[in-house]
Structure 1
Amino acid sequence: MPSGYALTVRFTLRDTKAAQQFDDLVAQAIEGIRSEPGTLIYAVHTPVDEPLARVFYELYTDRAAFQAHEEQAHTKRFLAAREELLSGVDVTFLDELAALSKTPGTERS
């Protein structure tokens, strides 16, 4: 059974103004990402007590879906515009060891 293709990306923003601009870029990109058929999860988080950090968790059906995501116009715009807002980026590709997926509201007692 294929396990998908996953990665995390940790962004460190220059300052609070850059963080707000980055969040605006993310909101714009998410609108395009919603229609990508191979993108299963695209979650953006702010770590507790780290207001200038953002952590993305991305899960795709396979590597081809990730490549298709990277080629989208909304992704290219995001990748180009984010550079001036960052002081650091760390990308980690993930191998799945185990997984559990539940859809909220479908659990049984």
Structure 2
Amino acid sequence: MGFGLVVRFTAHDEEAAAAFDRLAAEALDGIRAHEPGTLVYVNHRVPDEPAVRVFYELYADREAFEKHEEQPHVQRFLTERGQYLESFEVTFLDELAAKISPATGGTR
């Protein structure tokens, strides 16, 4: 079963949100290069809320998530993100059922 989470980040303002996006993009480069167990990692902008970002993350399993958290690029993101944020809220998800496009290589 997959393991996922949704995180809602609220930046101080639009300028801080842009800086946060740059930090997140740097982390995403490392995720793409070094994390085969990270299946989906998406930073969403929220319409009509310019300082809000929502991440959707899906991992092959809890172990893949734990490996993700240990990566240097993720540690840097976790350490530096606070300077841009007013708040964040994490919701962990356990997969019940799924449809995954064959184009992603998924079979669940």
Same fold (TM over 0.5): yes
Q: Partner residue of 1:6?
A: 4
Trace 1:36-55 onto structure 2 (pairs within 5 A). Answer: 36-55=35-54
Taking the aligned partners of 1:23 and 1:94, their CA distance within structure 2 comes to: 23
5+ unaligned residues in a row in structure 2: which ranges? 104-108
In 2, Cα distance between equivalents of 1:70 and 1:96: 19
The SS at the match of 1:53 is strand
1:46-93 Cα deviation digits (max 9, x unpaired)? 111111100000000111100100000000001111011100100000
Is the partner of 2:64 in helix, strand or coil? Answer: helix
Residue matched to 1:28: 26
Equivalent in the alignment of 1:107? none
How far is 1:16 from its partner? 1.4
Normalising to structure 2: TM-score of the pair?
0.90
Q: Does residue 95 of the first structure (1) align with residue 76 of the second (2)?
A: no
Aligned pair count? 102
In structure 2, distance between residues paired with 1:103 and 1:89: 33
Amino acid at match of 2:19: Q
Regions of 4+ moved over 4 Å:
none
Q: Larger C-alpha radius of gyration, 1 or 2? A: 1
- Cα RMSD for the two superposed structures: 1.0
Q: Is structure 2 residue 60 aligned with structure 1 residue 61? A: yes
Gaps of 5+ in 1: 105-109
Using the alignment, how far apart are the partners of 2:8 and 2:24 within structure 1? 13
| Partner in structure 1 of residue 106 of structure 2 | none
CA distance in structure 2 between the partners assigned to 1:103 and 1:13 by the alignment? 35
Give the TM-score normalised by structure 1: 0.89
How far did residue 102 of structure 1 move? 1.3
Aligned-pair distance for 1:98? 2.4
Identity in percent: 56
Higher strand share: 2
The CA deviation at 1:103 is 4.1
